[in-house]
Amino acid sequence: MILFSNLMSQMLWQISVSWTVVAQNVTDPNILGQMQKAFTHFVQTGQAWALLIGLVIGYMIRNLTSYG
């Protein structure tokens, strides 16, 4: 019974700690606007091209180094 009581108290402590994240202050609730801004920045800085080139080069290297 003591083991069960200790287990329950630990579970309740962990639940109460994780519930503190719910009470955070949100300054900009526009999630879609933030995603659009991040994607626009991703494209404008050339990172999209770097991603595509890296995927192509990685695919070519994988095919050259694979056996069979």
Taking only the tens place, the pLDDT of each residue in 5-21 is 776 677 666 665 555 56
Position 4 in a domain? no
pLDDT tier at 1 (50, 70, 90 boundaries)? low
**Total number of domains in the chain:** 1
Position 54 in a domain? yes
CB neighbour list of residue 42: distance below 8 Å, 6 or more residues apart: 48
CB neighbour list of residue 48: distance below 8 Å, 6 or more residues apart: 42
Position 14 in a domain? no
Structural domain of 62? 31-68
Position 50 in a domain? yes
Taking only the tens place, the pLDDT of each residue in 3-62 is 667 766 776 666 655 555 666 787 888 999 999 999 999 999 999 999 999 999 999 999
Tokens 């695919």 locate to: 59
Position 60 in a domain? yes
Cβ(34)–Cβ(28) under 8 Å? yes
What pLDDT sits at residue 14? 66
Burial of 44 (0-12, 13-18, 19+ CB in 10 A): exposed
